[in-house]
Amino acid sequence: MKNIKTQILVLTLAAAALASGCRNKELEAFNKLEKDRFLVKTEKAQVRNLEEYILLTGSVKAMDEATLYPRISGKLMKNLLKEGDPVKKDEAVALIERDEVGTVYEPAPVPSTLTGVVGRVYQDIGASVNPQTPIALVVNQGMVRVAVDVPEKYIGKVFKDQRARIKVDAFPDSYFSGSVYRVSPVVDSRSRNTLVEVLVDNIDGRLKSGMFAEARLITASRGAALSVPAGAVVSQDGGDFVFVPAAGNLAARVPVKTGIKTDDFVQISGVKEGAEIISFGLYGLKDGSKIKVQN
């Protein structure tokens, strides 16, 4: 029993000595590091297609919508069409039975005022209706509108026929192309926003009236633009510049001119395509600072 305890004590002391040795090696390696050397990462300047845009949110509406009402009072005799059915202009969607004792009338039709599909049926058979009672909603969704509120400060960048891209939660990997077709001539005095509507082709019917939408109004675009990550460009003293690795493991500051800016990339001139640009570790970095490029 005594021998076992002795063996355990020896193993414990050996493990402690090993751990202490490892810590001493780590400390020694840390002490050898130069305290004024920056650990950085680089990325190459590449040619990309860039788009500068205003990001807004809004809702999808059918290009044309009509709520249908009966012309007389009475009871709903029959719904001739159900939700989702196509309908032509002047086609009856329901029949109304006149509610007059002692007189027999032909059922009165409720005609559609436009060609589209039945989006909603509001009443059940037997319901009492009058000229103020909605019977059905008809929508034409071959084209849809996306209504967005544009803040006052961006109004100068919005114009009719401006290109736009629409995205909805139902199809997160798809963008729908559209264009601005209506810009309200007034600014709301409370919200300081202007209503803008984007027209989108919806021939496949994927966009539904009432959907929440993200709209990108394209304010500038450039194909084949030399660009770098947005975080690689430093603005200081009224100018823009980037850092590049130079001979002797030093950082060199290079003045650049910027163009289109997106959330991820910035168009630049002043460096060549394929040049290594420091994109990480810029805090405190100066021209001539010692660097170590991390793979």
Residue 35 confidence (pLDDT): 66
Q: What is residue 19's predicted lDDT score, i.e. its pLDDT?
A: 56
Residue 209's domain is classified under what CATH number?
2.40.30.170
Are 166 and 192 in the same domain? yes
Domain boundary among 221, 240, 260: 221
Kindly tell me the burial class for residue 218, based on how many C-beta atoms sit within 10 Å of its own C-beta (0-12, 13-18, 19 or more).
middle
Angle subtended at Cα 222 by Cα 224 and Cα 149, rounded to the nearest 5 degrees: 145
201 shares a domain with 269: no
Per-residue model confidence as pLDDT tens for the chain (295 residues)? 545 555 555 455 555 655 555 566 655 644 555 667 889 999 999 999 999 999 999 999 998 999 999 999 999 999 999 999 999 999 999 999 987 766 778 899 999 999 999 999 999 999 999 999 999 999 998 899 999 999 999 999 999 999 999 999 999 999 999 999 999 999 999 999 999 999 999 988 899 988 999 999 999 888 889 999 999 999 988 899 999 999 989 999 999 999 999 889 999 999 999 999 999 999 989 999 999 998 7
CA 166 vs CA 44, 63, 286: distances in Å: 31, 15, 42
> Is the Cβ–Cβ distance between 96 and 166 less than 8 Å?
no
CATH number at residue 89: 2.40.50.100
Query: End of a domain among 134, 152, 173?
Result: 134
Q: Is residue 259 part of a domain?
A: yes
Same domain, 289 and 258: yes
Instruction: Clarify whether residues 41 and 89 are in a common domain.
Output: no
pLDDT score of 198: 97
Structural domains in the chain (count): 3
- Among all chains, which residue has been given the structure tokens 């002490």? 31
pTM of the entire structure? 0.66
- pLDDT at residue 5, rounded to an integer: 53
Q: What is the pLDDT of residue 100?
A: 72
Cβ contact 91:35 at 8 Å = no
Same domain as 121, residue 156? no
Range of the domain at 103: 70-134
pLDDT of residue 24: 65
